Amino acid sequence: MNASPEHQRILLDVADLDRRILQAERARTKPVQGPRITELVAVRQDQLRELTALTGTRDDVRIELSRLESDVKLVEQRRARDAERLATATNSKEAQALEHELDSLARRQSDLEDAELDVMGRLEEAEAAVAAQQALLDATTAEGSTLTTQAKADVAAATDLGAQLARDRAAVTEALPAALLAEYTRRAGNSAGAALLTRGTCEGCNMMLPGTDLNDIRRAPEDAVVSCPECGCILVRTEESGLS
């Protein structure tokens, strides 16, 4: 295939645009925040499960404390009634029974209050654990929200950039012969498509060409479309190609 050196050089612009379009597409479909966001989703699920378990433990302790408080209140009410009855008792046997019951109730109230203090300590620990876990969850959620907002902005920017680059590519390729563009497109599926030959090195694959291949390229007409024997891209020749 033959094409003017000017048209061959335009292929370099097309290749650069294609490279940038590919980068924009990757940024659009795979934002850099994606892996961390995925990681945070899993972390948040684990933290939420732990928070649910800790909340359940705290609620159980609250129920236990509420029951003890109710029991203490009942004992206090019963002691008050017995004390009133004792104050008005005229029968010594009845008075003795009431005194015995009051002693038992006092011991019962003391035991309940000790248990109440123990449960209150456990409740304080449970509430602290819930608060700490909630703080972890909030931090994870905040980081995820921030990254998601950044990712959406980056995706929008990459989408706009990709659209602009596509328009630029369409404008640039208008000047190219259809056959040359088709040949470039075919090669671009497996290589850079087109690249400079600089000091005997293909900038598409960064391989230095053997002397025999350089001699073949050196003998090729100026408008001949030559290829890199390593990667297959179209080699664009300039004064810096090292062919003189």
- Percentage of the chain lying above the pLDDT 90 cut: 89
pLDDT beyond 90 at 57: yes
Tell me the C-alpha distance between 168 and 165, whole Å.
5
pLDDT beyond 80 at 244: no
State the virtual CA torsion across 223, 228, 231, 232 in degrees, nearest 10.
40
Confidence of residue 199 (pLDDT cuts 50, 70, 90): very high
Q: What is the pTM of this model?
A: 0.75
Tell me the C-alpha distance between 88 and 186, whole Å.
111
Q: Average per-residue pLDDT in the chain?
A: 95
Tell me the C-alpha distance between 206 and 189, whole Å.
18
CA distances from 45 to 52, 133, 136, 213 (A): 11, 12, 12, 60
At residue 4, the pLDDT reads 95
Tens digits of per-residue pLDDT, 210-233? 999 999 999 999 999 999 999 999
pLDDT beyond 90 at 87: no
CA distances from 44 to 140, 149, 152 (A): 6, 17, 20
* Average pLDDT score over residue span 107-130: 96
